[in-house]
């Protein structure tokens, strides 16, 4: 067990070998051990300026939905951890498919978001354009994916929008590699 944990730590510490999807969730791994626990997700959302209620709700829902998919074995773990190296198994349908099945960033799919949905300006999305994107990406009868995609994009919009209420192309690109979370947390910390 110790060697397995050591290998996981080595993989996590070498950010160059992580997929963009793994980097995307690393912000929430407070102790950088390669495993995200609900209390770490809660702390991450609080750093992003979310209320206590929203942070608790996010931590509970994210871990209930994702933990079992990323953990090896059949039995649920009482603390519902998310294993970062297996995060690709936690992906859901009805989304933009900007990550491929291995968690790698797909630039063409990213650009497609703006070609199809950025009507006012090709450099940002409005709230209505995000809603349009969500409706167009719905896979038939994939209700679970619809809810997850809506939650992901609404949180992203809330956290990433600028002072004009627009979600810029740069902010969305930064969320795909996780750097937006770090930027927003630093901004909020300096405001206190």
Residue ranges, the chain, pLDDT below 70: 1-16
Instruction: Give which of 77, 62, 46, 2 is closest to 188, Cα–Cα.
Output: 46
Residue-level pLDDT at 75: 84
Q: How far apart are the first and last CA of the chain?
A: 42
Give the 3-state DSSP-derived string for the chain, with helices as H, strands as E and coil as C: CHHHHHHHHHHHHCHHHCCHHHHHHHCCCCCCCCEECHHHHHHHHHHCCCCHHHHHHHHHHHHHHHHHHHCCCCCCCCCCCEEHHHHHHHCCCCCCCCECCCCCECHHHHHHHHHHHCCCCCCEECHHHHHHHHHHCCCCCCHHHHHHHHHHHHHHHHHHCCCCCCEEHHHHHHHHCCHHHHHHHHHHHHHC
CA dist., res. 55 & res. 146, Å (int): 21
Residue-level pLDDT at 14: 54
Report pTM. 0.86
Provide the CA 13 distance to its chain's centre, in angstroms.
Answer: 19
CA dist., res. 121 & res. 134, Å (int): 18
Taking the alpha carbons of 31, 32, 35, 41 in that order, is the dihedral positive or negative?
Answer: positive
Q: Angle between the 169-176 and 107-117 helix axes, to the nearest 10 degrees?
A: 150
Residue-level pLDDT at 13: 53
């Amino acid at each position: 067990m110790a060697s397995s944990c050591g290998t996981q730590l080595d993989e996590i510490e070498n950010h160059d070998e992580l997929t963009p999807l793994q980097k995307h969730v690393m912000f929430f791994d407070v102790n950088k051990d390669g495993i995200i626990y609900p209390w770490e997700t809660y702390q991450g959302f609080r750093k992003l300026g979310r209320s206590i209620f929203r942070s608790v709700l996010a931590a509970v829902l994210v871990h209930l939905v994702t933990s079992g998919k990323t953990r090896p074995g059949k039995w649920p773990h009482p603390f519902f951890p998310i294993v970062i190296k297996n995060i690709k198994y936690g992906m859901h349908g009805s989304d933009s498919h900007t990550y491929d099945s291995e968690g790698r960033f797909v630039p063409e799919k990213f650009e497609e978001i703006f070609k199809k949905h950025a009507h006012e300006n090709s450099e940002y999305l409005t709230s209505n354009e995000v809603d349009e994107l969500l409706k167009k990406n719905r896979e038939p009868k994939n209700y679970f994916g619809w809810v997850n995609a809506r939650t992901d994009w609404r949180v992203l919009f809330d956290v990433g929008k600028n002072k004009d209420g627009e979600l810029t192309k740069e902010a969305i690109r930064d969320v795909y590699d996780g750097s937006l979370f770090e930027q927003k947390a630093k901004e909020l910390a300096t405001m206190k």
